Amino acid sequence: MSLQHVTTTVNGDAAEFLCDATETLLDALRDRLGLTGSKEGCASGDCGACSVMLEGRLVCACLVLAAEADGREVETIEGMAGTGELHPLQTKFLELGALQCGVCTPGFLVAAKALLEEHPDPDETEVRYWLAGNLCRCTGYDKIIRAVLETAADLRGQ
């Protein structure tokens, strides 16, 4: 079986890899490019641990074929922090202890960042609905929701 050659942009940097046609973007990110921040939880689009941005839209990397990323822009958790500085959501998650085992955390952070870019002033219900596709089996969600709401308020300068 011949491999596909994929040229893409990941976190602003050009990237290329060879992949099998059945390989997912999640597999390619982790196994071809060494970007292991995106996690595989369910591999069926239910848990959101593999959340990434593809062409500016929040998606599950497990439901994207790696070959589809050719010529597209991908953003992952690895691109979230600035140089030597965490994203405000990351800082707030640490401050409030909005994580325990951490497997779901990259997905929550990527999804929450997408939320705040689109809705800078969400209410609690909006945050809960937006993050309904991110499952956490440790925290009970409350600290995560609070961290997102507090970050939103901080970013609005309140």
Partner 1 sequence: MRYEAPRTLADATGMLASCPGAARVLAGGTDLLVALRSGLVEPELVVDIKRIPGMEDIVAEDGGWRVGAAVPGAVLSRHDGVRRQWPGVVEAVELIGSTQIQGRATMVGNLCNASPAADSVPAMMAAGALARVAGPDGRERDVPVGDVATGPGITSLATGEVVTSVFLPEAPARSADAYLRLIPRTEMDIAVVGAAVSLTLDEGGRCAAAKVVLGAVGPRALVVEDGAAAIVGTSLDDEAVAALEAAASAAAQPIDDKRGTVSYRRKVAGVLARRAARIAATRAGERS
Non-local (6+) Cβ contacts of 149 within 8 A are 122, 124, 127
3-state secondary structure at position 116:
helix
Q: Write the interaction track for partner 1 spanning residues 64-83; mark x where CB under 8 A is met and - where it is not.
A: xx-xx-x-------------
Interface residues for partner 1 in 86-115 (CB under 8 A)?
A: 111, 114-115
Interface residues for partner 1 in 127-146 (CB under 8 A)?
A: 129-134
Least CB distance from residue 50 to partner 1, whole Å?
9
> Which stretches within the chain are classed as H helix?
25-27, 88-96, 105-118, 124-130, 142-155
When binding is defined by CB under 8 A, the residue of 31, 32, 36, 43 that contacts partner 1 is 43
Helix and strand tally (H, E) in the chain? 5, 5
Give the footprint of partner 1 on this chain (CB under 8 A): 4, 21-22, 24, 43-46, 48, 51, 54, 57-60, 62-65, 67-68, 70, 111, 114-115, 129-134
